[in-house]
Structures are given as C-alpha cells and as structure tokens.
Amino acid sequence: MEILVIYQDEYIICVAKPNNVLVHHAHHSRNVADEKSLLQLLDEQIGGKFYPIHRLDRKTSGIILLAKETHFVSKFQDLFTANEIQKTYYGVVRGFSPESKIIDSPVKGRDANVHKEALTHLRTLEQVTLDIPVKPYDSSRYSLVELSPKAGKNASIACAL
C-alpha cells in the first residue's frame, strides 16, 4: 500500500492516512499486530522514523501530521493547544442535520465515572434524499457535515448529531 505524501519539510511530513490503518502499534491494538502500521508503511516507502503529532483512529481516513524528530512533537502539539492549528472533519451522516449546531457533550474518559469536556461546531454543507428505501421509510436522507472540534476529545463529534 502506498501512502500519499501531501507535504514535507525539514520538520514534518503530512500524509493521507487510509482508513483501517493503525498509526502505530500499541498494547490496545495487539489484535491487529500482523497488519502494518502507518509508521511501518512510511519507513518502507520513504525510510526513516516519524513521530505522530496528533491521532487519527484506525477506522478514520484523513490527513495526519508526523514530526521528523521527537523534540518537534511537543512544539506542534502546543500549536494545537493554542488553537493555532485547527482540525476539520467531513462526514456523511444519515438524516438531515441542522444547518449549524454546537455539540457540547462530555465524553467518558478511561475511568467510566469521569467525563471530560468536549465541544464541536457542526455546519451542514449539503443534504440529499435518495430513492433508496430504508425500512420503514420509502427513501434515505443524508447530510454532508463539517465538524470543527474546539475543546476536548474528538469523540464528541459522534455523540449528538
């Protein structure tokens, strides 16, 4: 599998991560240890070590930033924290979403009794009705949405559409 390199300079490399690819192997991903991670694929394709600046879940495709040196990671993470770098997600959701919405839905942390603040801005870009029946309806409705996480974990995106 070839990874598309979108941009690179002396500090970072920006690549398109395909869905169903782990960024790196970790203890919680031991059930997919026989599959190559993004870091392994890049090492084979380009050569060298890269260090993730942010996360994308295995099932999520999208652009990911990787540092070329470990000491660059915290500097880029500081830019995310200071909102100098913004994440934007695009998704297709079933049903008609509102024109805009602020999703303010705390998410559970590793400790199920602790909830973390999460805030995401949603904007609907398009809506479509398809003549494909989905019981009990005669047609299917979908929305293309733009999601901008502002605080907390990105899991807030999936919570309350």
Q: Which residues are the active-site residues? A: 57
The rounded distance, in Å, linking the Cα atoms of 18 and 37 is 11
Residue with tokens 């970790």: 26
The rounded distance, in Å, linking the Cα atoms of 38 and 12 is 15
The rounded distance, in Å, linking the Cα atoms of 58 and 108 is 19
Which runs of consecutive H residues, i.e. helices, occur in 56-107?
70-81
The rounded distance, in Å, linking the Cα atoms of 6 and 19 is 16
SS3 69: coil
Residue with tokens 């600046």: 53
The rounded distance, in Å, linking the Cα atoms of 141 and 2 is 34
